[in-house]
């Protein structure tokens, strides 16, 4: 488990900071940071003076209760002591130090007064913002005088190598080898990172020009962390192992530089119909795609599967595809040019469909 804020294992607070090896004393509740030891300190056993057998029962103090048996519990029970004998009440040899040795194991809550024992009992912590723990990776004074959920660690950068989702709508890539990303998708980066325009060659350029399947890429290399996003859309990561996937060009966010990509026509379509060309990536590596909302993944092997050409995001590259036109139902099914088209899928594989058909372009007034 990497250094970060996690739910408090004791249950006493919302969050407790894990430094990578142990739980620390730093805690947080509703964005306010504080200090609270993971385990209350046990009270030291009072020293007992040796006495003769005749006076042992009268002079030996009550042993304190054992604390800390439950590692996540509160202070131990308050031990009960016998009422003093009449001879003890009249004994003038008792000193304040002796009285303190009998009362040192009683908690402040039970006494309702200041504990005067040599080693103070662990008590409830009163939050002190000045002692707040820094968010993971930050210096202690980075957020001096500031509290809140944005800086308590839950939104800190994710640790770990490779590619992973920083959150549902942002991708974080730790650059150890070059990768490809959609131009304009970088929102932040740290380190020595370089971005270079990546052309696809003359053949791909002509395909983009004639099909409208735009995929302008940049090559990212160097060392550091790069954060990518696209209009706040949901981000998903797929790992390919010697296989391929066909993706709508508008849904490609980034992929391994070692993957091969090309613009391919959906079988059954033509350039004249438009919008029926996808970007296919093949090989072994990772690819990050975006969806406008949370998608549904359909199993094309269960039954004949149809998807709107604007809502389908990606599908297994080995699926058989064709186009289906529903001219008579154009007013009810599909949207766009007036000729309703759906992609038909058959075979063993999956189809990813988003709950959106893309941005609606307002009609021109001229």
Tell me the CA distances in angstroms from 152 to 31, 32, 127, 142, 175, one per residue in order: 6, 8, 14, 12, 26
pLDDT bucket at 28, cuts 50 / 70 / 90 = confident
Which overall architecture, per CATH, does domain 163-353 show?
A: 4-Layer Sandwich (3.60)
Which residue carries 């707040």 as its tokens?
Answer: 132
**Mean model confidence pLDDT for the chain:** 73
Per-residue pLDDT of 227-238, as tens digits, reads: 999 999 999 999
| Cα-trace Rg, the chain | 34
Q: Which of 139-148, 237-246, 329-338 has the lowest mean pLDDT?
A: 329-338
Please compute the mean of the pLDDT values over residues 253-275 and round it to a whole number: 75
Predicted local confidence at residue 336, as pLDDT? 47
Domain boundaries, the chain: 4-36+125-151, 163-353
Prediction pTM value: 0.58
Predicted local confidence at residue 4, as pLDDT? 82
Predicted local confidence at residue 216, as pLDDT? 87
Dihedral sign of CA atoms 123, 127, 128, 131 in order = positive
Share of the chain above pLDDT 70, in %: 59
Per-residue pLDDT of 132-181, as tens digits, reads: 455 555 655 677 788 888 888 888 888 888 999 999 999 999 999 999 99
Which residue carries 């350039």 as its tokens?
Answer: 271
Which is nearest to 268 in space by CA: 255, 278, 259?
Answer: 278
Please compute the mean of the pLDDT values over residues 264-274 and round it to a whole number: 59
Tell me the CA distances in angstroms from 129 to 34, 52, 123, 132, 137, one per residue in order: 6, 54, 18, 5, 19
Q: CB under 8 Å, gap of 24 or more: what pairs does 173-176 form?
A: 173/220, 173/225, 173/226, 173/227, 173/228, 173/254, 174/224, 174/225, 175/220, 175/221, 175/222, 175/223, 175/224, 175/225, 175/226, 176/223
Please compute the mean of the pLDDT values over residues 309-338 and round it to a whole number: 74
- Structure tokens given for 262: 């090309």
pLDDT bucket at 200, cuts 50 / 70 / 90 = low
CB atoms near residue 224 (< 10 Å)? 15
- Structure tokens given for 191: 């380190």
Predicted local confidence at residue 151, as pLDDT? 81
Predicted local confidence at residue 69, as pLDDT? 40
Predicted local confidence at residue 212, as pLDDT? 41
Q: Which of 57-66, 78-87, 154-163, 272-281 has the lowest mean pLDDT?
A: 78-87
Predicted local confidence at residue 208, as pLDDT? 47
Task: Say whether pLDDT at 332 is over 60.
Answer: no
- Structure tokens given for 241: 């192992």
Predicted local confidence at residue 94, as pLDDT? 42
Please compute the mean of the pLDDT values over residues 260-288 and round it to a whole number: 78
Residue 325 in contact with residue 269, Cβ under 8 Å?
A: no
Grouping H, G, I as helix, E, B as strand and the rest as coil, residue 68 is: coil
Residue 358 in contact with residue 310, Cβ under 8 Å?
A: yes
Distance CA 239, CA 250 (A): 19
């Amino acid at each position: 488990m990497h250094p970060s804020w996690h739910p408090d294992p004791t249950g006493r607070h919302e969050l407790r900071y894990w430094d990578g090896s142990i739980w620390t004393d730093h805690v947080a509740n509703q964005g306010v940071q504080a200090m609270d030891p993971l385990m209350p300190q046990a009270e030291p056993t009072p020293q007992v003076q040796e006495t003769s057998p005749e006076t042992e029962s009268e002079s030996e103090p009550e042993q304190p209760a054992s604390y800390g048996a439950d590692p996540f519990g509160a202070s131990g029970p308050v031990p009960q002591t016998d009422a003093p004998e009449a001879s003890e009440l009249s004994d003038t040899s008792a000193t304040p130090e002796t009285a303190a040795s009998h009362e040192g194991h009683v908690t402040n809550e039970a006494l309702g007064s200041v504990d005067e024992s040599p080693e103070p009992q662990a008590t409830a912590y009163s939050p002190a913002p000045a002692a707040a723990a820094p968010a993971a990776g930050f210096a202690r004074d980075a957020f001096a005088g500031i509290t809140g959920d944005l800086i308590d660690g839950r939104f800190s950068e994710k640790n770990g190598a490779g590619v992973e989702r920083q959150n549902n709508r942002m991708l974080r890539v730790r650059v150890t080898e070059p990768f490809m990303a959609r131009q304009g998708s970088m929102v932040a980066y740290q380190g020595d990172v370089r971005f270079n325009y990546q052309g696809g060659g003359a053949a791909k350029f002509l395909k983009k020009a004639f099909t409208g399947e735009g995929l302008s890429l940049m090559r990212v290399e160097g060392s550091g962390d790069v954060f990518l996003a696209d209009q706040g859309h949901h981000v998903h990561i797929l790992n390919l192992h010697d296989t391929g996937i066909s993706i709508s060009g508008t849904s490609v966010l980034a992929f391994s530089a070692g993957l091969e990509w090309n613009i391919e026509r959906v079988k059954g379509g033509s350039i004249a119909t438009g919008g029926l060309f996808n970007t296919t990536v093949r090989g072994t590596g990772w690819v990050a795609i975006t969806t406008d909302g949370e998608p549904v993944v359909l199993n094309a092997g269960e039954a004949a599967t149809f998807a709107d050409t604007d809502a389908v995001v990606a599908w297994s590259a080995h699926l058989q595809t064709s186009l289906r036109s529903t001219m008579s139902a154009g007013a009810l099914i599909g949207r766009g040019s007036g000729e309703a088209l759906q992609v038909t899928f058959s075979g063993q594989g999956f189809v990813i469909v988003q709950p959106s058909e893309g941005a609606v372009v307002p009609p021109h007034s001229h």
